[in-house]
Amino acid sequence: MSSERALATVRRVGKIEPIDGADFIELAHIDGWQCVIKKGVLQPGDLCMYFEIDSILPEAEWSEFMRDRKFRVKTIKLRGCLSQGLALPLKDVGAENGALGEDYTKVLGVKKHDPEAEKEARENANRKKVYPWWTRLPFGMRVYRWFHPKRGSWPHSLPKTDETRVQNIRNLDSMINGRLLYITEKLDGQSLTYYVDQTYSPTPFKKGCSGVCSRNVHYPEYRPNNWWDYVQENGLMESLERFCKSEGRSLAIQGELVGPGIQGNKLLLKERQLYIFNIYDLDKRCYLPLFEKLEIVDTLGLTHVPFLCFDEFLPTTEGFLLIAGGPSIVNADVLREGIVVRDKNDDGMSFKAISNEWLLKHKE
DSSP code per residue over 50-103: EE-TTEE--S-GGGGGGGGGTTB---EEETTEEE-SEEEEGGGGT-TTPPTT-B
- pLDDT top residue among 144 and 233: 233
For the chain, the residue count is 364
Q: Which residue has the higher pLDDT, 299 or 148?
A: 299
In this predicted structure, the answer to whether residue 1 has a pLDDT above a threshold of 50 is no
Domain 164-361 annotated CATH 3.30.470.30 = yes
pTM for this structure? 0.84
Q: Where in the chain is the domain with CATH 3.30.470.30?
A: 164-361
The CB density around residue 82, as the number of other CB atoms within 10 Å, is 16
Burial annotation 266-275 (CB, 10 A radius, 16+ → b, else e): bbebeebbbb
Nearest to 190 by CA among 272, 129, 268, 110: 272
Q: Are 279 and 288 in contact (CB under 8 A)?
A: yes
Domain boundaries 8-112, corresponding CATH code: 2.40.50
Is 279 in contact with 294 (CB distance < 8 Å)? no
Looking at the chain, the domain(s) classified CATH 2.40.50 span: 8-112
Looking at the predicted structure, is the pLDDT value of residue 209 above 50? yes
88 half-sphere exposure, CB direction, 13 A CA radius: 19
pLDDT level of residue 220 (50, 70, 90 thresholds): confident
pLDDT at 145: 64
* pLDDT value for 2: 41
Beta bridge partner(s), residue 354: 338
